[in-house]
Amino acid sequence: MLIKTSSRGFDHPVPSEITSRETYQGRRELLRLMATGAAGAALAGWAGRQALAQTVPKPGKLATLAGGKSAVAGAVTMEKITDYKDATSYNNFYEFGTDKSDPAKNAGTLVTKPWSVAVEGLVKQPRSYTLEELLKLSPQEERIYRLRCVEGWSMVIPWVGYSLSELIKKVEPLGSAKFVEFITQADPKTMPFVGSRVLEWPYVEGLRMDEAMHPLALLSFGMYGEVLPNQSGAPVRMVLPWKYGFKSGKSIVKIRFTDKEPRTAWNKAAASEYGFYSNVNPQVDHPRWSQATERRIGEDGLFAKRRKTLMFNGYEAQVGQLYAGMDLKKFF
């Protein structure tokens, strides 16, 4: 199968991935949990998330926010798109809670208007952009990307935005700029879990400059043709389909260009588990679980068949050259 982003000319290989043996093994695991009494909590948690998914509202068409400016380019895929209700009710956004269902329940307090993003550091044109200015900076397009959670779940989502490189070119980085840092809003009044001890606030992520300039690195304002819902990183976020989802900073308020590798939120919290690059690599296990397989959100719940994890989440042909010659077990 191919996912083709027509406006950029990328072909993304996706295998058919028939994994009936792993489905069978997954059901055996559930039977084992039932025997130990541990399955009840897992089933209850899943049922709760499914119930929540039925109630998630859509925030409104992106064209409304963009003043009619949004131009959505075509994208073709034979992979099943994750249902909107599933993609917006299973989220990591620790500013609103640590459970996957917490953001959908708690992110209604986030205030997204007015919004601005400051661009600073090693650039010739530092400035602050309003959300409306960012929306008008470049024509938006729809891209169907897979996004993978480190815990082994994945989704297929039609994101709306444009390549971050469009903004980078506008601000003209200096030759000394080697990295790009993304800083998330950290307002304890509207983000109730800011201040919790689970992470250092504000949430910080980062990319090497060549990663940030890659056309697949998307500055996103919407999904499914809708404005980004709060729990998915409204009103502007990054989408980096070859990396784990936590690398895609949400509710961004600052983009800083630097000559030093940024210390990212999860790397500061647990450096032995979360490296700076955080590329999807089935050959390097997380210290507490295997990265070799994954489940697709919304497919059969706890009985979902596990899929073989693809190198760089299936985008090896497009991004593999960025890491040529690197020891990916050291730079994980």
CATH of the domain at 189: 3.90.420.10
122: which residues sit within 8 A by CB, 6+ positions away?
173, 174, 176, 177, 257, 258, 259
Matching residue, tokens 């996706």: 14
- pLDDT(31) > 50: no
pTM of this prediction? 0.81
Please report the pLDDT score of residue 96 as a whole number. 98
- pLDDT(304) > 70: no
Please report the pLDDT score of residue 136 as a whole number. 95
* Count of the separate structural domains present in the chain: 1
Of 13 and 120, more confident = 120
168 belongs to a structural domain: yes
Q: Where are the beta strands (DSSP E) in the chain?
A: 2-5, 10-13, 75-76, 116-121, 127-130, 141-148, 153-163, 179-184, 204-208, 218-223, 226-227, 237-239, 252-258, 293-296, 307-308
Q: 60 falls in which pLDDT band (50, 70, 90)? A: confident
330 belongs to a structural domain: no
225 belongs to a structural domain: yes
166 belongs to a structural domain: yes
277 belongs to a structural domain: yes
- pLDDT(54) > 80: no
- pLDDT(44) > 70: no
- Which of these ranges, 115-129, 143-157, 181-195, 302-316, has the smallest mean pLDDT? 302-316
Three-class DSSP category at 151: coil
Distance in angstroms (rounded) separating the CA atoms of residues 137 and 22 = 46
Mean of the per-residue pLDDT values for the chain?
83
Phi, psi of 212 (to 5 degrees): -65, -30
- The residue type found at 211 is E
Residues, the chain = 332
Please report the pLDDT score of residue 185 as a whole number. 98
- pLDDT(254) > 50: yes
Per-residue pLDDT tens over the stretch 264-292: 999 999 999 999 999 999 999 999 989 99
- pLDDT(160) > 50: yes
- Which of these ranges, 41-45, 160-164, 222-226, 290-294, has the smallest mean pLDDT? 41-45
By residue range, what is the domain housing residue 92?
2-323
46 belongs to a structural domain: yes
Strands 179-184 and 75-76: unpaired
331 belongs to a structural domain: no
11 belongs to a structural domain: yes
> How confident is the model over 152-164, as a mean pLDDT?
95
